[in-house]
A and B are shown apart, each in its own frame.
Chain A
Amino acid sequence: MPKTVVLKIKRQAGPDERPHWEEFEIPYQERLNVLFCLQTIQRNPVNRLGKPTSAPVWDQSCLEEVCGACTMIVNNVVRQACTALVDDLEQPIVLEPLTKFPLIKDLMVDRKRFFDDLTKSKTWVSIDGTHALGAGPGCSQELQQLRYALARCMTCGCCLEVCPQYGLERPFVGAAVLAQVRLFNVHPTGAMQADERLEEMSKPGGITDCGNAQNCVRVCPKEIPLTESIAALGRQMVGYGLRKFFSKS
């Protein structure tokens, strides 16, 4: 049983600064997660060489893997730091920021583009208003289960980090957005705007950019059926293409 935990953290004061590595050693405790390691460093920001330093900066909120904030690369695997338990990890524990988003500082990145792509894809139900209009459409238990499974996506970006087609300079929206499009296209009311979403997803950056590498589905912490959703969306796209073709002719 190790008495200490060694962390090797990629530090970078800002996007234009040079990155460097810094190691820390903290006391071991049972059921320690990576986030508590970082919190421990805040309480005594001295690195492994015994040199006072600043504590690394990272993103966090819920501490229970439901907000998606603390996503980072832990020992080469993209995941949430709050559910990364030290007992399950090799040491030194190597922490790096996500690479597919602009860096803010140290382990914190700005995933704004991800949110903007959701907006672009019109993943919402176009309700008539918030006034009393009675219940929504009935829904079978099976459909609810499917919608719930898709709706648990916490915009964490794990699937984007590992996708060979996704990148800062490239238009592809990535698996999570495609799955959200499917979610709204299967909703009884959302389906009324399905073609608008499909139109958006037929443009560059949409579904045809997916190379079907299936990396995404393997890293999703919420087990969102990503590749299945991309395939389902592909089928919707065929129907949409036909509709479009015939409405033109």
Chain B
Amino acid sequence: MSERAIIVVGGGLAGLMATIRICELGHPVKLFSYVPVKRSHSVTAQGGINASINVLGEGDSPQIHFEETIVGSDFLANQPPAKGMCDDAPNIVYLLDRMGVPFNRTPEGNLDFRGFGGTLYHRTAFAGATTGQQLMYALDEQVRRYEAEGLVEKFEYWSMQNILKDSEGRCRGIAALNMPTMEVVAFRAPAVVMAVGGPGLVFGRTTNSMINTGSAVIRAFKSGARFANPEFVQVHPTAIAGLDKRRLISESVRAEGGRVWTYKDGKKWYFFEEMYPAYGNLVPRDIASKVIHDIVVNQGLGPDGGRYVYLDVSHIDDDVLRRKLSGVLEIYEKFMGEDPYHNPMKVYPAVHYSMGGLWIDYNQMTSVPGLYAVGECDYEYHGANRLGANSLLSCIYAGRIVGAPAVEYASQELPDIADSALAEVVGREEQAFEEVFASDGEENAYLIQDEMGEMMDRDVTIVRENATLDKVAAKLEDLDAQAARIGLRDKGRRMNAEAIFARELRDRLLYAKMIVKAARAREESRGAHYKPTFPKRNDDEWLKTTLVDYSAEELKISYEPVDISLLPLRERRYDVKH
């Protein structure tokens, strides 16, 4: 395939949609992915995708969807892109329907919709409780179709190591690692789209997949791509604890009537329903997680003093549960060994999603010309808190709108980038691996990872205190120093998972430092960022997007205004309808 091909890195929903759009415009794509694209993290999404199609005649509209998204974001999302996304949502869901996603149906044969967090409308289209998987497969099939036509070339089990830049600072390709052979190769491209997903592993055990390493964005960041809003990390209120991961129990369970409770004074206490009569169990995630944390940690009201509350569906008809939620309940059953159809599930908040990511303009271009970002790795659309079922939407929307500008950008004539420039980047990456291969210190990268993850999860999630953040920042420096003294056990030159992991660990430590620094700086509470010392949203001083730029000495923080041109600021309330 020619060097005309645009490179897409990542084959989750965002990357696959970008690939489809670029191919549809007649342009070839080289698609890189850590895992075979069909296994990307997006397959884990359970609940659904939002679109105000108003099938149930409730008077819903894209405008209401937009307003709820902005209120949900605590006004930190730029409004025009969020509006564009909500307006396009019905087209996106119809498109997915045409591609063959087996969405659940109404008796008339129309798309069925369920409720979700932060809204009182039934706006979420769903395919059982494995919606992400079904969306992924539909897009994967369309990409396969272009592959059969010769427009797509896949590089699976390849990991992006860095971007190539020319002397003008434009992105001109990538350097990537063929993981089975451990060979680093440079690829020229007229434009690069990063769709590498979220940074789950920075927080250790989360609801995310093991491939959410947070590494690729950091490589781009260190090569000059600006970051935005890293401090906004979503903690999902209902997950189940596991040794290897926290498994999500989707918001759709509450949307289908699941109730959250614990005991108080010997009686069942449905605390969400009491505190938020209007939205009840469907208050947005930032608020729900904070409430559960407070009840369990501060008030000590977890059942039997445990670190959980109950999520209960035992009052719902078995038949309904099987038709709409079996995919999620199956997970509970398989991993907890208990029947969730008839016993309340034990759940607790867990890190879930990153609202922050690479800074982009309204064409999804990062601060590096020719480098685009789409999906969970971009910072657009969700501000300080994402509403449920808006992520699948934003991934696909971003993939959809990036196509045209990326192809247009790629069509310009640029002076050739010299072979020597490619060789230099490859040499640098190879050198970095050689250093890892040569390391024979006493530290184990996986143990450092555990320490970082546990600390970030404990100290930098639902509640943030400046004094604690300072300690975490210092500890991250220690861990970084430790990470420089690892001893590599596997010296093999084939699929060396340990060497790859060890290098990525350093990226994650930098990601963690960035989150902590941005969180330390923001002296207010907004969405997922909550500081008891500054308990209120402070629009006068903090209605602004955090920007972070890399330099070897220190991370530089600055701010830019949020585009609030479409919806005036208002108080965010869920105890009453708004």
Is there contact, CB below 8 Å, between B110 and A133?
A: no
Docked CA distance A181–B210 (Å) = 31
Docked CA distance A61–B130 (Å) = 16
Is there contact, CB below 8 Å, between A61 and B211?
A: yes
Instruction: Specify the chain B residue showing the minimal Cβ separation from A149.
Output: B102
Docked CA distance A67–B130 (Å) = 11
How would residues 133 to 166 of chain A score, 1 for a CB under 8 Å from any chain B CB and 0 otherwise? 1111011110011011001101100000000000
Instruction: Specify the chain A residue showing the minimal Cβ separation from B400.
Output: A130
Question: Chain A nearest CB: distance from B172 CB in Å?
Answer: 28
Partner of A62, one of B44, B91, B446, B447: B44
How would residues 239 to 255 of chain B score, 1 for a CB under 8 Å from any chain A CB and 0 otherwise? 00011110100000000
Supposing A29-B243, A31-B335, A133-B94 touch, asked if A147 and B102 sit within 8 A by C-beta, the answer is yes
Supposing A127-B99, A141-B105, A187-B100 touch, asked if A118 and B494 sit within 8 A by C-beta, the answer is no
Any B CB within 8 A of the CB of A13: yes
Residues of B within 8 A of A132 (CB): 91, 94-95
Any B CB within 8 A of the CB of A6: no
Supposing A61-B210, A127-B99 touch, asked if A68 and B148 sit within 8 A by C-beta, the answer is no
Is there contact, CB below 8 Å, between B133 and A66?
A: yes
Residues of A within 8 A of B450 (CB): 43
Partner of A138, one of B20, B110, B497: B110
Residues of B within 8 A of A139 (CB): 102, 105, 109
Question: Chain B nearest CB: distance from A26 CB in Å?
Answer: 11
Partner of A135, one of B97, B137, B489, B497: B97
Residues of B within 8 A of A151 (CB): 102, 127, 134, 137
Any A CB within 8 A of the CB of B372: no
Supposing A118-B144, A136-B97 touch, asked if A61 and B39 sit within 8 A by C-beta, the answer is yes
Any B CB within 8 A of the CB of A228: no
Any B CB within 8 A of the CB of A4: no
Is there contact, CB below 8 Å, between B245 and A144?
A: no
How would residues 190 to 221 of chain A score, 1 for a CB under 8 Å from any chain B CB and 0 otherwise? 10000000000000000000000000000000
Is there contact, CB below 8 Å, between B495 and A43?
A: no
Residues of A within 8 A of B98 (CB): 125, 127, 133, 135-136, 189
Docked CA distance A135–B98 (Å) = 7
- Give the residues from 24 to 44 in chain A that come closer than 8 angstroms, CB to CB, to chain B: 29, 31-33, 35-36, 39, 42-44
Any A CB within 8 A of the CB of B535: no
Residues of A within 8 A of B142 (CB): 124, 127
Most buried by A among B38, B100, B180, B400: B100
Partner of A54, one of B94, B111, B492: B492
Docked CA distance A44–B442 (Å) = 12
Any A CB within 8 A of the CB of B575: no
- Give the residues from 102 to 153 in chain B that come closer than 8 angstroms, CB to CB, to chain A: 102-105, 107-111, 127-128, 130, 133-134, 137, 141-142, 144-145, 147-148
Instruction: Specify the chain B residue showing the minimal Cβ separation from A67.
Output: B39
Is there contact, CB below 8 Å, between B108 and A138?
A: yes
Any A CB within 8 A of the CB of B297: no
Most buried by A among B36, B141, B244, B245: B244
* Interface size of B in residues (CB-CB distance below 8 Å): 71
Partner of A63, one of B111, B244, B447, B497: B244
Any A CB within 8 A of the CB of B498: yes
Any A CB within 8 A of the CB of B64: no
Instruction: Specify the chain B residue showing the minimal Cβ separation from A65.
Output: B334
Partner of B148, one of A104, A112, A119: A119
Supposing A32-B243, A64-B331 touch, asked if A112 and B105 sit within 8 A by C-beta, the answer is no
Is there contact, CB below 8 Å, between B95 and A148?
A: no
Partner of A64, one of B44, B91, B211, B494: B44
Partner of A105, one of B36, B180, B211, B334: B180
Docked CA distance A136–B90 (Å) = 12
| SS class, residues of chain A in contact with chain B | loop
Is there contact, CB below 8 Å, between A14 and B209?
A: no
Supposing A148-B134, A151-B102 touch, asked if A64 and B107 sit within 8 A by C-beta, the answer is no
Any A CB within 8 A of the CB of B336: yes
Docked CA distance A168–B271 (Å) = 58
Is there contact, CB below 8 Å, between A62 and B209?
A: yes
Any B CB within 8 A of the CB of A108: yes
Instruction: Specify the chain B residue showing the minimal Cβ separation from A188.
Output: B100
Any A CB within 8 A of the CB of B444: yes
How would residues 83 to 95 of chain B score, 1 for a CB under 8 Å from any chain A CB and 0 otherwise? 0000000010011
Question: Chain A nearest CB: distance from B110 CB in Å?
Answer: 7
Instruction: Specify the chain B residue showing the minimal Cβ separation from A128.
Output: B98
Any A CB within 8 A of the CB of B35: yes
- Give the residues from 302 to 345 in chain B that come closer than 8 angstroms, CB to CB, to chain A: 323, 327, 331, 334-337
Docked CA distance A82–B111 (Å) = 33
Docked CA distance A32–B446 (Å) = 18
- Give the residues from 455 to 482 in chain B that come closer than 8 angstroms, CB to CB, to chain A: none
Any B CB within 8 A of the CB of A52: yes
Is there contact, CB below 8 Å, between B109 and A140?
A: yes
Residues of B within 8 A of A60 (CB): 210
Residues of B within 8 A of A69 (CB): 35, 39
Partner of A83, one of B38, B105, B128, B335: B335
Docked CA distance A126–B100 (Å) = 10
Is there contact, CB below 8 Å, between A67 and B43?
A: yes
Supposing A52-B489, A132-B91, A151-B102 touch, asked if A124 and B141 sit within 8 A by C-beta, the answer is yes
Is there contact, CB below 8 Å, between A66 and B43?
A: yes
Residues of B within 8 A of A241 (CB): none
Supposing A60-B210, A63-B244 touch, asked if A55 and B489 sit within 8 A by C-beta, the answer is yes
Is there contact, CB below 8 Å, between A135 and B492?
A: no
Partner of B498, one of A54, A133, A187: A54
Any B CB within 8 A of the CB of A229: no
How would residues 157 to 200 of chain B score, 1 for a CB under 8 Å from any chain A CB and 0 otherwise? 10000000000000000000000100000000000000000000
Instruction: Specify the chain A residue showing the minimal Cβ separation from B20.
Output: A130
Any B CB within 8 A of the CB of A50: no
Residues of A within 8 A of B336 (CB): 31
Instruction: Specify the chain B residue showing the minimal Cβ separation from A32.
Output: B243
Question: Chain B nearest CB: distance from A17 CB in Å?
Answer: 9
Residues of B within 8 A of A126 (CB): 145
17 A–B pairs (Cβ distance < 8 Å), ordered by A: A13-B494, A29-B243, A35-B244, A54-B489, A62-B210, A63-B245, A67-B44, A112-B156, A122-B148, A139-B102, A139-B105, A141-B105, A144-B102, A145-B323, A147-B100, A148-B127, A155-B39
Additional A-B contacts beyond A55-B498, A62-B41 (10; CB < 8 A): A29-B243, A33-B335, A54-B491, A62-B209, A64-B44, A69-B35, A133-B94, A136-B97, A141-B104, A184-B100
The 5 A-B pairs with the shortest beta carbon distances in the complex, nearest first, are A54-B490, A138-B109, A124-B141, A136-B97, A147-B102
Chain B residues engaging chain A, CB cutoff 8 angstroms = 20-21, 24, 35-36, 38-41, 43-44, 91, 94-95, 97-100, 102-105, 107-111, 127-128, 130, 133-134, 137, 141-142, 144-145, 147-148, 156-157, 180, 209-211, 242-245, 247, 323, 327, 331, 334-337, 400, 444, 446-447, 450, 489-492, 494-498
